[in-house]
Amino acid sequence: MTTTPTAAETQSTRRERRRVVAATTIGTAIEWYDFFLYASVAGLVFNQLMFGPLEGGLATIISFLTVGLSFLFRPIGAFLAGHYADKLGRRFVLMITLFMMGGATALIGLLPTFDSIGVWAPILLILLRILQGVSAGGEWGSAVLLAVEHAPTKKRGLFGAGPQIGVPAGLLLSSGVLALMDVIAPGDAFMEWGWRIPFLFSIVLVIIGFWIRSGVDESPVFEEIKEKSEAGAKNPIGSLFRRFLPLVILGALVFAGNGTVGYMTTGGYIQNYSTNPEGIAMDRGEVLLAVTGSAATWMIFTLFAGWLSDHLGRRNTYIIGFIVQAIGAAALFPLVNIGNIWLLFGALVFLTIGLGMTYGQQSAMYAELFPASIRGSGVSITYAIGSILGGAFAPTIAAALVEATGTTFAVSGYLVGATLVGLVAILILRDRSGIDLSPDNEAAQAEGHFMFSK
């Protein structure tokens, strides 16, 4: 395992590294607050207010379909962001995605409902959700590279867990704000205007995010590339697919193994399923608080997984995590179906332990997969494809399975199956913890990815 600091690493002072971790963590949390807020409200509000002519289960399925639809546009954001992250820098991309996501979220908070403007309500809602998808596709890759490429070799997992924590932090923040609004504007008031306030609050968060990210230094790896007058590969996306397509697919499947299960909460399905008045009919506020609490355990174990991967290796940490996640996925709906809020909370907490253990090391693992000159494209596009394969339509598939079978047994099988796919994918990949990430080591970065390779 490589432990000697690279030239790029020595350019980052301890103070700069702390600032980068703080900026990528907080900035990512803000962006995912926006993204997850939509997913939560889709099952609680949009299925009733934005899809007026549809009834019952069909309205919910279509509403969740708009959650997944945005994932189809993530590759556009990933392609654009990956390209420009390799050509113009990671920091530049992060500023653009921040304003795109925040602007779309604030406009959703101002949208008239179906009763006011008819079919234009769902059309405009979908267009704004697509903008969120493009932004989300571009945000993650640049954020994780900025954190990991600033990190010391022995602490890449820990530093990379920063932007990873931003995801459950965004879930915690969005669920917490919705739970607060359920208290401030209970009952019909929540449906009339209470749900809008969290979306408009995004304007404040964007200002905070801009202020934080303005003081962040560019990635030392990218600066090293510029100093060598090699502003990345001439065609990073073409080079990625021509030389590393199997690697992209396997990396995407690893992410899909986590994302499919994670989107039971971040995609809003559990919130809708457990509060459905024709089903379990739990209290909306209590469910939102339970999701908020489980997001806290997700954060803790995401950080723990990043730290553990620096000592145990990315691959071994994943193996442990996927085993725990499979158990949590199998137990989730049997416990939720009992209808007790504490059992629901316990099921979500155990599930998020597994989710954190298959998520905290993701940043470092992805950064160590690809050569420096195409790393932005590799990380962003692999992540976007993984998001489509696992997560994009997980809530829609879950809703359709329950509608078709009348039980959640098929959903449990779907979640466990996706987890096992992720486990198999990580077993094929070789652990590359500690590899030199600098442009001088491109040859070594481009080979030795698979367990069966020499």
pTM, two decimal places: 0.81
What's residue 55's pLDDT? 63
Q: Which residue ranges in the chain fall short of pLDDT 70?
A: 1-13, 52-57, 222, 225-234, 266-267, 392, 453-454
Domains of the chain listed by start with CATH number: 7-445 (1.20.1250.20)
What's residue 144's pLDDT? 83
What's residue 12's pLDDT? 54
Give φ, ψ of 429 to 5 degrees: -80, 145
Q: Which residues contact 50 (CB under 8 A, 6 or more apart)?
A: 63, 111, 113, 114, 121, 122, 125
Q: Do 143 and 24 touch, CB atoms closer than 8 A?
A: yes
Q: CB pairs under 8 A, 24+ apart, for 331-338?
A: 332/264, 332/412, 332/415, 333/408, 333/409, 333/411, 333/412, 334/412, 336/270, 336/273, 336/274, 336/280, 336/408, 337/280, 337/408
What's residue 2's pLDDT? 44
From CA 96, how far away is CA 107, in angstroms rounded? Answer: 17
The CA radius of gyration of the chain, in Å to the nearest whole number, is 21
Instruction: Tell which residue, 12, 106, 61, 36, has the closest CA to residue 399.
Output: 61
Neighbours of 454 (CB within 10 A): 5
What's residue 8's pLDDT? 45
Residue-wise pLDDT tens digits, 402-440: 989 989 999 999 999 999 999 999 999 999 998 998 888
Residue-wise pLDDT tens digits, 52-62: 666 656 777 78
